[in-house]
Structure formats: structure tokens, C-alpha cells
Amino acid sequence: MSLFSTGGNVDRRFDRWRASYASDPAQSRGRQFAETHSPTRSEFQRDRDRIIHSTAFRRLKHKTQVFVFHEGDHFRTRLTHTIEVAQIARSIARALGLDEDLAEALALSHDLGHTPFGHTGEDVLHECVLPFGGFDHNAQALRIVTRLERRYPDFDGLNLTWETREGLVKHNGPLMDKIGNPLPKYQKSGIPSDILVEDAQSHLDLASFAGPEAQVAALADDIAYNTHDIDDGLRAAMFSLADLAHIPFVGDILAEIKKKWPNLEETRIIHELTRRLITRFVEGVIDEGSLRLVPFQALKVEAIRQASHPVIAFNPALATADKDIKTFLFANMYRNPNVMRVRSQAENVLRDLYRSFNTDSRLLPEDWQIRLKGADERDKAYHIADYIAGMTDRFALEEHRRLFDATPDLR
């Protein structure tokens, strides 16, 4: 008897210790295009591997996290941030009995839709295509995995499972209420049309929460960027350890470190602070998740989707710490005068590129020009946005130099 089946029987080769409420790859709702099962990997492992091997994933290496890249080679990029999110997500998922591979796939894909120059690029593209519905990096990630990656002979996109596509769209929570009204984030511009089309085709249920693995990935993202932005901000001298000591949660950890190692050099203090912050947040999420998952012990994952609240969350103390850290970083890092100056320059670069391509589409590469044939104004706008969103920071600057006489060096 074969150890596995590629037919209609439930495939249990990849069962490990997994809670009843976890997403089960053997019970996946499937892919957009039918494929034969892999003899060596679960469905969620295949999703993870396709994401890692995608062009969009490789581009993250040269996309900004925060504008400190000119300070040296040791600061985070979108790629290193994504790897850190994946590590944290796997740790939490394993402790809670969830499917680690799905949590990792969602962590690895959560930033695929980000533009060059971080959130600056997203803001510019949103402004450029606002007459047609605006730009949203989660919707862009969905476009990438369902349409823009062109690698396979039988379909566009990566043909990911329903669970990964659902988590990609809803990892931050529902997008609409139970009667179909957009939630606050989307009330002004509306829910992106790409998400609505995917919902109509795949029944994502935009009024419900995503599965628990997607919720894990969302919190892993918060933990990773809070802690590594503190690390990068300190190393870039945007603020000091003394400044951080005024944040109660962070100050308590710094006091612990100073008490245990009163003469520790600053670089080691920074590392110890970062690792302790990650540990406190991860262990806190595991403890809170364990409590919230008790009512679901004998239930399936669908019960978590239909719950009235997320099952993976910070406890009140950690929620306060998360808010305090974000407030501090916003004021002292994201709005740092040097960061804001570079951000303004980057905005001008991307506006110039969009206007040039929109005015004369012959400036686009030939294969991108071909895809514009027969496009209306809306399709043209998003086609140009797709091209720009896919650029790395470096390539965006090279394109600007090709088209304009003067290009800032963003330093």
C-alpha cells in the first residue's frame, strides 16, 4: 500500500501534533487551478516554497524598511524583516499547535505588495491611482500571487491555496462588517477591487476573521518591526537608550540588564534588549493565545473564523507596550528630520516616474507596453502602478536617472 495518495483520499502524510482548531493542509479548500498533490510536501509547504522562489520575494532584498540603508549594510531591508517575521510566526504557531508551514507562508508573503521606499511609495501610488480606487499593499500582494507572477505554463500567479490567499487578505482582521459595510480603514477609498473580485470568485468572507495562522503572522509582524526598528534606530543614533528608558515596558527591561551587567558595553545592551523584547512579546502572545483558544479545543478552524474577536492577540499589558513603542518610534524614527527629508525626495522620484509613464507609455519596457494594448484609463493606471510597485529602491533610482537630468541620491 502506498504511503501517500494523489487521488481523492485525505492525505495524512504530513500530520504532526496539530490541534483540532489548526488549519489542516489535508483539508484545504484547494487552489484556483487543480494540481496533482506533491509526493513530498504538504499543500502549505508548497505555498511557502513558491513564495520563496518568486521574483517578488527576491526583490524584497533591495526594498527599504526605514531610510537608514546608507548608514551601513547591517540595517534591515524588507527581506531581512520578512525572515524575522517568519521565524517569530513559526515559534508562536508551534507552541499553539497550529500549522507552522501556513504561518510561515503568510509571514513570508505579507510584504510582497510593498513598493520601493517603504510606505512612502505606497502613499505616492495611492495618490496617483486614487481616481480609480487607490493603492493598497495587501491588494497588491494579492495581485502578485494571483496574476503578476508569470512563471508557470498553466496559470498566472502562484496558484496558492485558499487558506494562504485568505490569510494574505485578512491577516489584519475583517475588511467589512456583517452587513457588508467597509470597516474604517476602507471607508474612504472602499475595499480594493482586486480583493472584491477574489472574494466573489473564492468566497473569502471578508466580514470574518482569518484563520489562526494568519492572526499569528500579523502579530509576528508587529513584534518584529517594533523590536528591530528599536535596534536599527539605536544603531543609527536616531535616539538613545536613555530615551527608550522613558517607555515603561522597555525601561523595565533596560533596568534588568543594567542590574545584571552594570558595565556591559552598549552594543551588547542593544542586542540583549532586542532579544528580551522579542521573548516577552512572543511568550505573552503564546500565553494569551492559549487562554483564548480554550473554548475552541474540540472545534475546527472555521469556528475561529466566525468568532467575534481574534484568538491570537496581545494581553492588555503587551497591547499598551506595543502602543507605547509605536508612538515612540513614530515620533523619533519615522518622523526623524533626516528620514523625512529622504522620504520627500523619494516621493518626488516616484511621482516623476508615474507621470512620465502615464504621459508616454513608450517609456515602459516593451513587454509592459504590449500588455497595455486595449487597456482603458483605469487598467493603464494600475498597469503603471504594478510596474513601479515591483521596482526595488535601486532600480527606481536607475529608471529616474534614465528619464531625468537630476536624481537625488537619497542620503
**What domains appear along the chain, each with residue ranges and CATH number?**
41-114+130-202 (1.10.3210.10), 212-337 (no CATH), 341-403 (no CATH)
pLDDT of residue 2: 32
Q: In terms of residues, how long is the chain?
A: 411
CA angle 379, 385, 388 (to 5 degrees): 145
CA 359 to chain centre: 32
What cell was used for 394? 535601486
Give helix 337-359 / helix 393-403 axis angle, nearest 10°. Answer: 60
pLDDT of residue 12: 53
How far apart (Å, rounded) are the C-alpha atoms in residues 117 and 317? 33
pLDDT of residue 297: 93
- pLDDT (tens, 9 = 90+) of the chain, 411 residues, equals 233 333 445 555 445 568 999 999 999 999 999 999 999 999 999 999 999 999 999 999 988 877 645 555 667 789 999 999 999 999 999 999 999 999 999 999 999 999 999 889 999 999 999 999 999 999 999 999 999 999 999 999 999 999 999 999 999 999 999 999 999 989 988 999 999 999 999 999 999 999 999 999 999 999 999 999 999 999 889 999 999 999 999 999 999 999 999 999 999 999 999 999 999 999 999 999 999 999 999 999 999 999 999 999 999 999 999 999 999 999 999 999 988 888 999 999 999 999 999 999 999 999 999 989 889 999 999 999 999 999 999 999 999 999 999 998 877
Q: Which residue type does 24 have?
A: D
How far apart (Å, rounded) are the C-alpha atoms in residues 338 and 349? 17
